[in-house]
Amino acid sequence: MWIAATLIAALAQTGRNAAQAGLTSRLGTMGATGVRFLFGLPFAVLFLALVAAVQQVPPVNLSAVGYAAMGALSQVAATALMLTAMQRRGFAQATALIKTEPVTLAILGAVLLGEALTPARMGAIAVATAGVLMMSGTGWRRAGLGPVALAVAAGGLFGLSAIGFRGGILSLESGGLIVRATTILVVSLALQTALVGAWLALRDRAALRGMVLAWRESLGAGFLGALASQFWFIAFALTPAANVRTLALAEVVFAAAVSRRRNEAMTARHIAGMALIATGVAWLLWTTR
């Protein structure tokens, strides 16, 4: 079940990233970042209402809120860095560099949540991450270290956010996995909407007006973001976050398909990198079977 949830989330997230990247030039980095939260929250509330029709919503304790806040803040910062990196690099290359996060995630999961860090798991994660780095190529040397640092930092913060969300889900003391995952999704998006909305209202009202004018694109990005997050959270409820984010490296392949539609070249190196990613993911699935 976690495999299916992860693949659906990765596909939806690729679509959301493409939509957000297209909005960045019109709304600015923080404006495009805010779209996934401000327009995603209503859909998350709708998801929770549907789940609540068949499962009781659990009470939210302070530990769950604390973990959710850690995940929410990390994800806001990671999204802003990701969109900035995508402006400076190609869509697929930025996505590939960001996907160095599973290594950091595995270490954080072991330290913060006590998740087992076996040699087999680390080996699978390392192989898949090597494929990501191969796909990213050596073009960063011509672009400078700045864009690379932004993308890698975004990946680390996305990893920290995944730990926060999984910790929040595990901290809820009752309810089935889907209702717990959806509850933490709503809590997290509410925190993010309040934070980003307040910042935009104080510092960038033009971006808020731009969201309204681009409401069709913003609504689409918000829906895809909420849909992706719903399935990410379900996967986090089922297995360690590092497993989820390693399998999610399939998103790099989806991003490559998007890049082909944007006439960004695919080379033998990209294909070899995707083969390494597939090998690492297959190894991970074998270790967690």
Residues 104-145: tens digit of each pLDDT: 667 777 777 777 677 887 788 788 777 777 766 655 455 556
Q: What is the pLDDT of residue 13?
A: 81
Q: What is the pLDDT of residue 100?
A: 67
**Alpha-carbon gap, residue 189 to 44, rounded angstroms:** 8
The mean pLDDT of 11-36, rounded to a whole number, is 77
**Alpha-carbon gap, residue 89 to 80, rounded angstroms:** 14
The alpha-carbon radius of gyration of the chain (Å, integer) is 18
Please say if the pLDDT value at position 246 is more than 90: no
| Range with top average pLDDT, 146-155, 177-186, 215-224, 265-274 | 177-186
Tell me the average pLDDT of the chain.
Answer: 80
Phi/psi zone of residue 195: left (φ > 0), alpha (ψ -120 to 50 degrees), beta? alpha
Q: What is the pLDDT of residue 62?
A: 94
Q: What is the pLDDT of residue 191?
A: 94
The mean pLDDT of 89-100, rounded to a whole number, is 63
Amino acid letter, 77? A
**Alpha-carbon gap, residue 191 to 83, rounded angstroms:** 20
- State the pLDDT confidence band at 147, using cuts at 50, 70 and 90: low
- State the pLDDT confidence band at 52, using cuts at 50, 70 and 90: very high
Establish how many alpha carbons lie within 13 A of residue 2's alpha carbon, considering only the half-sphere containing its beta carbon: 21
Establish how many alpha carbons lie within 13 A of residue 275's alpha carbon, considering only the half-sphere containing its beta carbon: 6
Q: What is the pLDDT of residue 67?
A: 95
Tokens of 117: 């860090």
- H helices present in the chain, as ranges: 2-38, 41-52, 62-88, 91-98, 101-112, 119-136, 140-143, 145-171, 177-203, 205-213, 215-238, 241-247, 250-261, 268-287
Please say if the pLDDT value at position 51 is more than 90: yes
Please say if the pLDDT value at position 92 is more than 60: no
CB 23 within 8 A of CB 217: yes
Please say if the pLDDT value at position 262 is more than 80: no
| Distance set, CA 92 to CA 125, 154, 204, 226 (Å) | 20, 15, 29, 22
Which residue carries 């995952």 as its tokens? 181
| 34 compared with 233, residue with greater pLDDT | 233
Q: What is the pLDDT of residue 37?
A: 86
| Range with top average pLDDT, 24-33, 52-61, 107-116, 206-215 | 52-61
- State the pLDDT confidence band at 210, using cuts at 50, 70 and 90: confident
CB 132 within 8 A of CB 103: no
| 178 compared with 1, residue with greater pLDDT | 178
Please say if the pLDDT value at position 198 is more than 80: yes
| 265 compared with 76, residue with greater pLDDT | 76
CB 133 within 8 A of CB 100: yes
| Range with top average pLDDT, 6-15, 121-130, 201-210, 223-232 | 223-232
Please say if the pLDDT value at position 265 is more than 80: no
